[in-house]
Amino acid sequence: MTDTTPTNAKVYLETTVISYLTSRRSRDVVAAGRQELTREWWEKERHRFRLLISDLVLDEAGAGDRAAAERRLNILAGIDVLPVSQTAEAVAAEMIRRGLVPASAPNDALHIGICVVNTVEYLLTWNCAHIANAEIRRGVDEVAIALGYRPTVLCTPEELFRGWGSEHA
């Protein structure tokens, strides 16, 4: 049985989560599995957290195919929006400077920076290349602490799921 006890923990929804939530079922087995996990997390877990996004998420979600963008933006309607501040940009720049996130992926670093400066407990993402990656997590924690912030947990919906029961064993 899923624990639906509310928590005060803040969860930042990075754009990949919204994309998996709203996209048509993929024929790729890995992508389809992520879509199902995301939908299950959305249905069973999201109510336990204070959900947050940023202007950056809105910009990314609104790009691309018009119908797909509309589905993504409809899901995001009503979720509190964090600003993209100069402080968040500075934290992101430090992540890039230290080689934690490649310079070719500045938005990925900015998602992290927004969470760190706003003391968001969890950054939920399916971006395992530049965000929810064990090596990156350690370095991000070190940077956050060095800059005087509490680290943000970078994780996938699968990792932030209390509802694992016999159906997932």
Q: What is the CATH number of the domain that holds 21?
A: 3.40.50.1010
Domain count, the chain: 1
**Is residue 2 in a domain?**
no
Residue 169 placed within a domain? no
**39 occurs within a structural domain:** yes
162 Cβ partners below 8 Å, 6+ apart?
2, 3, 45, 48
pLDDT in tens, the chain (169 residues): 445 555 789 999 999 999 999 999 999 999 999 999 999 999 999 999 999 999 999 999 999 999 999 999 999 999 999 999 999 999 999 999 999 999 999 999 999 999 999 999 999 999 999 999 998 999 999 999 999 999 999 999 999 987 555 344 4
Give a yes or no: residue 72 inside a domain. Answer: yes
For residue 1, tell me if it sits in a domain. no
- Please report whether residue 4 resides in a domain: no
Residue 1 confidence (pLDDT): 42
Domain enclosing residue 151, as ranges: 10-163
Is 15 among the domain residues? yes
Across the beta sheet with 122-124, the strand order is 80-82, 50-54, 10-13, 122-124, 153-155
Is 68 a member of any domain? yes
